[in-house]
Amino acid sequence: MDWKDGLSEIRNTLFEQGKPQDKSTETAVNSKSLKEINIPDADLKTIEDNRIIDKTYLEDNFASLFERAFQDHKKITAKKPAHNKDNLIKVDFGVVRKYFTDNGFGFVTHTFLDGQQPDVFFHIKIIKKTRYDLVEKLDEEQLDTVYFWYETETNCKGEQVYKILKPDHIRKILNDNILSYIEKIESMWSNADSMIPVWLPEITVDLVGVERANKLSLERNIREKERKDQEEKEHNKKEALLKTEEAKWQRQDEEEKAQEDVEEKEFDQLVAEMKSLGITESKEVSWHIMNNRLGDKYKNISGVVKMEQDGTSWNFKGGFPPDIYARLCRELGLSNQSTRARAVGFKAFKDL
C-alpha cells in the first residue's frame, strides 16, 4: 500500500464514514496496515497497545504522523539506485567470464543488452545476497557453469551489477519489456548455424515457461535434422561427382596407355621393316609408306605433317610427329637433308 493512500484511507475511515453516535465511538484499525504505511515505531507502539484509534488521537497526531511518514518515504526513495529514476529496468543475463577470488570481484557477459563495456563488473557480496549456490562454483573457478540474471546500475565508476535476480521472478520483473527478450532467445534457437549455449534451455524456461521451451527445443532438433540431411545430400552429390570424375580420368589414363602401347608396337614394326629394306634416308621411309599404301598399317604413328618455311606452308604425306621422327632416325641411323623447313602440325592417318 502506498503511504499516501494508506493515510488517506485511515483519515476517510475515521472522519467520513458515518456520524459518531456518542463521544466514545471508536474505529479499529489493523496494525499490519499501519506498519505498511511507515508509521513511526513510537506511535505504532501506542496504537498496538490500545489496539484502536479514537478520532481525537488521530486528529491531534495526524499532522505529525503524516510528516514522519513523508520523511520515511524520502529516506526510502533516496536509497533507490539511479537506474530506476526514470522507471527504466536494465535486466540482463550473462556468464561469468573472469573472477578474481582474492579480491572478490569479476566480470559477467551481456546477452540481451548492449552495455558500455563488453562485460559488467560484479562483486561477490551481491551474489551472496540471493544466489549463495554460485559462490562455491566461483571459488572453485568453475566459471563456465556460473551464469545468472542481473540488474545493472551506472555510477561514476561505470556499469556494474546492482542485484542478482531469481530466475522465477524474471517474467514479473520484465513485464512489458519481456517481448524483446523472448525474440532474442527465439532467434538463438532458430539459428542452426550456431551452437546452443548450455544455459539457453534454462533461461528459455525462465522467460516463456516449460511448454514453450520444449517446443522451441523440438523445432531446433527438426531444423538441425533437416540441415544435417541437406548437408549429407550435398556431400553424397559431391562424392558421386568426384567418383564420376575419377572414373573419367582413369578411362583417359587407360586410353592413353593403350594408345602408347599401340604406337610403340607400330614403331617397333616400322623399324624392323625399314631395317630389312636397308633404308638410309628419312624421306625414303615416307616414300615407302605412301607408295605401298601402308597408312593403315602405321596409322597411329604416321600421317600428314604440316610444314612451314619462310611464310609458306604445305602438307607432307607419310610423315611423323617430331618425337617419333627423332626416335626413328636414331634407331635406323637415318640421314636428313639439310632444310630450314619445320613441322608445325601433324594428323595421324587414323584421324583422316
Q: Do 75 and 114 have their domain in common?
A: no
Residue 232 lies in a domain: no
How many structural domains are present in the chain?
3
Residue 246 lies in a domain: no
Q: pLDDT band at 297, cuts 50/70/90?
A: very high
Q: Do 7 and 53 have their domain in common?
A: yes
Which range has the top average pLDDT, 29-43, 128-142, 210-224, 325-339?
A: 210-224
- Per-residue pLDDT reduced to its tens digit, 143-161: 878 999 999 988 888 889 9
For residue 229, give the H/E element and its range: helix 200-277
pLDDT at 35 (0 to 100): 47
Q: Do 49 and 88 have their domain in common?
A: no
pLDDT at 68 (0 to 100): 60
What is the average pLDDT across 312-320? 93
pLDDT at 38 (0 to 100): 52
Q: Do 60 and 119 have their domain in common?
A: no
Residue 321 lies in a domain: yes
Residue 265 lies in a domain: no
Distance CA 201, CA 214 (A): 9
pLDDT at 249 (0 to 100): 95
- According to DSSP, residue 132 is labeled T
Buried b (16+ CB within 10 A) or exposed e, 168-191: eebeeebeeebeebeeebbebbee
Choose one of 134, 165, 196: the last residue of a domain: 165
What is the average pLDDT across 185-197? 92
Q: Do 105 and 143 have their domain in common?
A: yes
- Per-residue pLDDT reduced to its tens digit, 225-257: 999 999 999 999 999 999 999 999 999 999 999
pLDDT at 337 (0 to 100): 63
What percent of the chain stands above pLDDT 70? 73
Choose one of 149, 165, 181: the last residue of a domain: 165
- Per-residue pLDDT reduced to its tens digit, 105-149: 999 999 998 766 789 999 999 999 988 889 988 988 878 789 999
Residue 261's identity, in one-letter code, is D
CATH code (residue 89): 2.40.50.140
Residue 38 lies in a domain: yes
Q: Do 109 and 54 have their domain in common?
A: no
Phi, psi at residue 98, to the nearest 5°? -140, 145
pLDDT over 80 (residue 63)? no
pLDDT over 60 (residue 17)? no
Residue 263 lies in a domain: no
Residue 184 lies in a domain: no
**Cβ atoms of 190 and 219 closer than 8 Å:** yes
340: cell is 630450314
Q: Do 45 and 67 have their domain in common?
A: yes
Q: Which domain holds residue 342?
A: 278-351
- Per-residue pLDDT reduced to its tens digit, 77-108: 454 444 444 445 589 999 999 999 889 999 99
Range scoring the smallest mean pLDDT among 50-54, 123-127, 321-325: 50-54
Choose one of 119, 148, 165: the last residue of a domain: 165
What is the average pLDDT across 250-278? 94
Q: pLDDT band at 341, cuts 50/70/90?
A: confident
pLDDT at 203 (0 to 100): 95
**Cβ atoms of 298 and 266 closer than 8 Å:** yes
Helical pair 55-78 and 3-15, crossing angle rounded to 10 deg: 170
What is the average pLDDT across 248-273? 94
Residue 345 lies in a domain: yes
Q: Do 74 and 89 have their domain in common?
A: no
User: Other C-beta atoms within 10 Å of 192: how many?
Assistant: 14
Q: Do 54 and 96 have their domain in common?
A: no
Q: Do 96 and 72 have their domain in common?
A: no
Q: Do 151 and 124 have their domain in common?
A: yes
pLDDT over 60 (residue 64)? yes
Q: Do 21 and 50 have their domain in common?
A: yes
What mean pLDDT, rounded, does the chain reach?
81
pLDDT at 155 (0 to 100): 83
Which string of DSSP letters, residue by residue, matches 187-223?
A: HHHH-TTSPPPTTHHHHHHHHHHHHHHHHHHHHHHHH
Distance CA 151, CA 16 (A): 44
pLDDT at 188 (0 to 100): 94
